[in-house]
Amino acid sequence: MYTDSHCHLNFPELAKQLPEIRLAMSAAHVTRALCICTTIEDFAPVHHLATSYDNFWATVGVHPDNEGVYEPTFEDLVERAALPRVVAIGETGLDYYQMQERKGGRSLGDMEWQRNRFRTHIRAAQATKLPLVIHTRAASDDTLAILKEEGETGELQSAGGVFHCFTESQAVARAALDLGFYISLSGILTFKTAQDLREVAKFVPDDRLLIETDSPYLAPVPHRGKLNTPAYVPFVAKLLAELRGGTAESIGALTSTNFDTLFNRVTERVSLGN
């Protein structure tokens, strides 16, 4: 019924209790999850999850906040994207907040390596015809500009994708939607401080909406501060139902359909019996 479109089940705090997490998912009617890759070094365990369980899928990419890791080439991404049960490129994008806060207040010019990495991911997505999983923080203007420069305009040649764990303004949401992207909302939506985000949540069209946990982070109310897991994604659906009308179950069904549409290799793999 529910699909978690973004989680990190290979992270140590979740990987060590995967059987319990899967049982909790089943009890919460969370039937599927997309396991997100954040470094090339971690691709193998992420891909192993997807090939070991018929309701998990994988991405390939390097998170913009990861420095001092193997820098992926276009060929690295394309090669791994061709493997079974890999359905997207990412997560990728720009994160100026983390770099500026943690690395001594770097200038925007110092972030050129992030922008170059992002461009490599976009080009790999276009070549493989897989959607992008976009992370952007304190960098929305550059994120949107680079997508446009690389031909992500919503036209046929575009890869498209999703702005995951969305926390930006309604104007940014509108710009992303105009480029053909989906918007995914996480447990942040349930936080008391997220009133502006709740307005965005009411604005996103039905056919461009996804839900996620970004677990192990950002557990929704009433579990805020605890370890997050895909079993908690129905709490995001519940609040969306309150904002948009309907039920948590109807939001779960809607966002699961959207998941299939965006990550269409999921349904291709199912139809092939893989």
Mean pLDDT to the nearest integer, 252-259: 98
Q: Tell me, what's the pLDDT at 105?
A: 62
Per-residue pLDDT tens digits for 210-232: 999 999 999 999 999 999 999 99
- pLDDT mean over 71-85: 98
Q: Are 90 and 135 in contact (CB under 8 A)?
A: yes
SS3 147: helix
Domain span at residue 259? 2-271
Q: Is the pTM of this model over 0.85?
A: yes
Q: What pLDDT shows up at residue 270?
A: 43
Mean pLDDT of the chain: 94
How many structural domains comprise the chain? Answer: 1
In the predicted model, is pLDDT for residue 143 greater than 60? yes
CA-based R_g, the chain, Å: 17
CA distances from 258 to 11, 49, 67, 71, 234 (A): 26, 22, 32, 31, 16
Q: Are 55 and 85 in contact (CB under 8 A)?
A: no
The answer, yes or no, to whether residue 195 has pLDDT greater than 80, is yes
- The domain spanning residue 140 has which CATH number? 3.20.20.140
pLDDT exceeds cutoff 90 at 269: no
pLDDT digits (tens, 9 = 90+) for 84-126: 999 999 999 999 986 665 556 666 677 899 999 999 999 999 9
d(CA 231, CA 253) in angstroms, rounded, equals 16
User: Residue 186: which of 135, 146, 142, 262 has the closest Cα?
Assistant: 135
Cβ-count burial 169-200 (b if 16+ within 10 Å, e if not): eeebbebbbebbbbbbbbbbbbeeebeebbeb
Question: Which residues, other chains included, contact 107 with Cβ-Cβ below 8 Å and sequence gap of 6+?
Answer: none
